[in-house]
Amino acid sequence: RFAVRALGAFEQKPGCPADVVGALPAERLERLCVGECYHPSDRRHTIDRIEVVRIRPRVDPVEDVADLIEDPWRVLPCPNDAAGCRVAFDDPGFARDGRDTVYYVRAHQVATPTVNAGNLRCERDEAGRCLSVDPCSVLPGETPPDDDCLVPAEERAWSSPIFVDFAATAAAAGR
């Protein structure tokens, strides 16, 4: 049984904190930061969901690796709560299958406007093919100054791998 807790990133305040504004001349601050710096508030974005990835190593060379990587294996919704997300899951097939397993969990934050999340900002046809691109550039004259290059994106965080050794687990359970 696994318990997962995730917190969203701090919400940003507009502009730059006073210590940054006082440390740099206005023109340099504008050139470097375009008026926005890391300026966290005390509030956090909410986590939308937790995804669990399950990977089982091959025990037979003929096994298809694609069948052993389940991404995602489980999707666990989170409450709309800035205090974070707490979920639990178990794998009833672990004992039945009798094999080592690796799990990762991935937390998805609720989508927020993010600079360059649109990558090349493709204009697509009905089949999804990219017809033309409109990349956001910091080079003078390439992107209009009023284009903030913001596109909604779900920021993500990953856990470290959680390796569960079947033989050790069975021995600890007295099987």
**Residue (of 155, 168, 158) closest to 103 by Cα position:** 158
Q: In whole angstroms, what is the distance from residue 96 CA to residue 123 CA?
A: 48
Query: pTM of this prediction?
Result: 0.79
The model's pLDDT over 52-69, given as tens digits with 9 standing for 90+, comes to 999 999 989 999 999 999
Contact 46, 111 (CB under 8 A): no
The model's pLDDT over 104-148, given as tens digits with 9 standing for 90+, comes to 999 999 999 888 888 888 999 999 999 999 888 877 788 887 888
The model's pLDDT over 74-101, given as tens digits with 9 standing for 90+, comes to 999 998 887 899 999 999 988 888 899 9
Contact 170, 96 (CB under 8 A): no
Give the mean pLDDT of 144-171. Answer: 87
Q: What's the pLDDT score for residue 128?
A: 93
The model's pLDDT over 22-44, given as tens digits with 9 standing for 90+, comes to 898 888 888 887 778 889 999 99
